[in-house]
Amino acid sequence: MVTSTSPLSRQPTKLDYANPTQFRFIINQLPKVEYFTTSCNIPGISVPNTLMSTPFVDIPVVGEKPEFEDFTLSFIVDEYLENYLSMHNWIMGYGFPENKQQFKTFRDETADTGALNTTQESRTGDRSLYSDATLTILSNKNNPIVEIRFKDMFPISLDALEFDQSATDSINLSASATFKYQQFKIISIV
């Protein structure tokens, strides 16, 4: 049985294009980075295929485990380096290069996972090392239309800051950071 689809039913109903400047990024652990974010990405996703062996040619079949690319974020560094230092302290907090007290201090005092219950019991273990985040895509009228919700995000790298006395133009100092996360979900909110 063949069904036919009318060409009119296949036409798009929304003709606006996505604008790369219409977004807002919020991460609970880094509130001072939100306002200064200049770029970020929706990471790519792939599922590597598996090969089924045959006596002749191996046949590719659908894989089983999705692999998520890293999330990258660029931001303008504020004059007092507060947003840069918050990212730096997060990495140093779970890396504790000087002593184990750094980890305890980060977990008990510095970390902000965004949880409503911030009692000591909720900040024990490794929960304070991660933070949920949301990338909100906005319409051309700045209304939220899609949310990308990241679960258990944490930074794995932070760019160096380059100061240069020979710079001829006054440019803003910026930095980039790379994050890993457990997964992300894309949710339409309109």
Work out the pLDDT band at 2, boundaries 50, 70, 90.
low
Longest Cα–Cα distance of the chain, Å, equals 74
Domain for residue 108, yes or no?
Answer: yes
Q: Whole-angstrom Cα distance, residue 65 to residue 47?
A: 6
Q: Whole-angstrom Cα distance, residue 5 to residue 11?
A: 11
Q: Whole-angstrom Cα distance, residue 129 to residue 131?
A: 7
Work out the pLDDT band at 3, boundaries 50, 70, 90.
low
Question: What is the model's pTM?
Answer: 0.80
Q: Which domain holds residue 135?
A: 17-188
Domain for residue 6, yes or no?
Answer: no
Cβ within 8 Å of residue 42, ≥6 positions away: 135, 148, 184, 186
Domain for residue 78, yes or no?
Answer: yes
CATH number of the domain that residue 93 is part of? 2.30.110
Work out the pLDDT band at 80, boundaries 50, 70, 90.
very high
Domain for residue 8, yes or no?
Answer: no
Question: What does the pLDDT read at residue 1?
Answer: 58
Domain for residue 10, yes or no?
Answer: no
Domain for residue 4, yes or no?
Answer: no
Domain for residue 5, yes or no?
Answer: no
Total domains in the chain come to 1
Span 161-179, pLDDT tens digits:
998 888 788 788 999 999 9
The residue with tokens 């109903």 is 13
Work out the pLDDT band at 110, boundaries 50, 70, 90.
low
